[in-house]
Copies of this chain bind each other. A is one copy, B any other.
Amino acid sequence: MKKLINAVDDFVRESLEGFELAHGDLVKVNYDPFVVYRTDAPRQGKVALVSGGGSGHEPMHGGFVGRGMLDAACPGEVFTSPTPDQMEWATRKVDGGAGVLHIVKNYSGDIMNFEMAAELASESGTQVESVVIDDDVAVRDSLYTQGRRGVGGTVLLEKLVGAKAEEGSDLKAVTELSRDVIANVRSMGLALTSCIVPAAGTPTFELGDNEVEIGIGIHGEPGRERISMESADELTDRLAGPVIEDLGLNEGEEVLVFVNSMGGTPLAELYVVYRHVAQILDQGGVRITRRLIGPLITSLEMQGCSITILRLDDEKTRLWDAPVHTPALRWGA
């Protein structure tokens, strides 16, 4: 394992220290327990957004803390859900009296830890709502299983809901928008290589020189099928197809397309993928009116990509365009 780290056990903390040193104008970091929060927290009267998840997905979530997006993020160990004390600390810290929304990705660990935190926080009188995002169409949904994972849609959710909260909407409206976004966003990803979890030191899975894992999760969980390597356009068809179908997109609709790198895939290749997504949607008469391209929800150094499509309406488009100023996403400010 060759990584730019010191002691494995110090990786998350040292990375957070560098992050705070770099972006101290926007964020502060608490180290026990780990919480990244806005320097201006709590914002009185504003609904506060708290998200969190395992580390190794940078810039998500810490990179999305700041004006127009999250109030706090709770980084767990690499690929491991954060613990309730983190979410509780964050919730108390950013609560501005208007309530706190927990943005949770659909993993049993994340859900249970956030649940415990919400229980603790409500005991102390804070009003907490939580929403669970499950946009990964690679996982067939069912009442009897864990259901779909939360992946790329999380980034878009945090941007849109962050803008809504920044506008001064109340907890009910912010929560409703979250559910609306979750209902209108889908994703699917693939891996060309595995990643190496520092604590493990060896690749999470083995992938042959000519193999691709389709439907990979963001934690190196194996996907639904393993195929032999294909062209970028063919692979793009495999990801975009299920996403478009599951969204039930119709001619004339407007969407935001998000092509994400798993960490190790360079930007130039993402544009090759975006090119074909645009061709596919164009053939279907769907209009791409907004887009996001880059490594925003990653799996350490994994090579691969994911495609996320969000159905837009006027409000979502307006909220997407609203100013955002965080370490990882910035415009209009």
Contacts and interface: CB of A to CB of B under 8 A. Distances in A.
A293 interface: yes
Of the listed residues A6, A235, A274, the one surrounded by the most CB atoms of chain B closer than 10 A to its CB is A6
A59 B233 CA distance: 22
Interface in A289-306: 291, 293, 295, 298, 300-301, 303, 305
Nearest to A282: B21
A291 B6 contact: no
A142 interface: no
B278 A192 contact: no
Contacts of A284: none
A219 B298 CA distance: 25
B5 A272 contact: yes
Most buried by B among A7, A269, A276, A300: A269
Interface residues of A, number: 57
A278 B21 contact: yes
A266 B22 contact: no
Contacts of A272: 4-6, 11, 14-15, 18
Given A4-B232, A18-B278, A21-B278, A267 B192 contact: no
Contacts of A183: none
Contacts of A3: 192, 232, 269
B266 A301 contact: yes
A55 B210 contact: no
Contacts of A266: 56, 58, 263-264, 295, 298, 300-301
B56 A192 contact: no
A209 interface: yes
Contact of A269 (B5, B17, B270, B333): B5
A29 B81 CA distance: 44
A332 B325 CA distance: 10
A210 B270 CA distance: 30
A19 interface: yes
Most chain B beta-carbon contacts within 10 A, residue among A3, A22, A59, A212:
A22
Interface of A: 2-7, 11, 14-19, 21-22, 55-56, 58-59, 63, 192-193, 209-210, 212, 229, 231-233, 235, 263-276, 278, 291, 293, 295, 298, 300-301, 303, 305, 330-333
20 contacts: A2-B210, A3-B232, A3-B269, A4-B192, A4-B305, A5-B231, A15-B275, A16-B271, A21-B275, A22-B293, A56-B266, A58-B267, A263-B264, A263-B266, A265-B301, A266-B298, A267-B295, A268-B300, A295-B295, A332-B333
